[in-house]
Amino acid sequence: MLFAANLTLLLVAGIVSITMQPRRPSGLPDDAAARVVRNVVGGRIAVATGPLRWQAAVLGGVPVANHAPDAVMLTQVSEARSSLEQVARRHPRDPRAQAAIAALQLAVHDHAGAAHRYRAACERAPHYGEGRLGLGVALALLADRTPEIWQARQLRLEAIAQFAAVDAVDSLYRDALHDRALLLAEVGRTQEAARFARELLSREATGPGYERMREIVAAQQ
pLDDT at 11: 60
Residue 67, C-beta contacts closer than 8 angstroms, at least 6 positions apart = 46, 48
Q: What's the pTM value of the predicted model, to 2 decimals?
A: 0.89
pLDDT tens column, 91-148: 999 999 999 999 999 999 999 999 999 999 999 999 999 999 999 999 999 999 999 9
What does the chain come to in residues? 221
Residue 167: name the closest of 18, 15, 13, 21 by CA. Answer: 21
In CATH terms, the superfamily for domain 23-168 is Tetratricopeptide repeat domain (1.25.40.10)
Residue 161, C-beta contacts closer than 8 angstroms, at least 6 positions apart = 136
pLDDT tens column, 150-193: 999 999 999 999 999 999 999 999 999 999 999 999 999 999 99
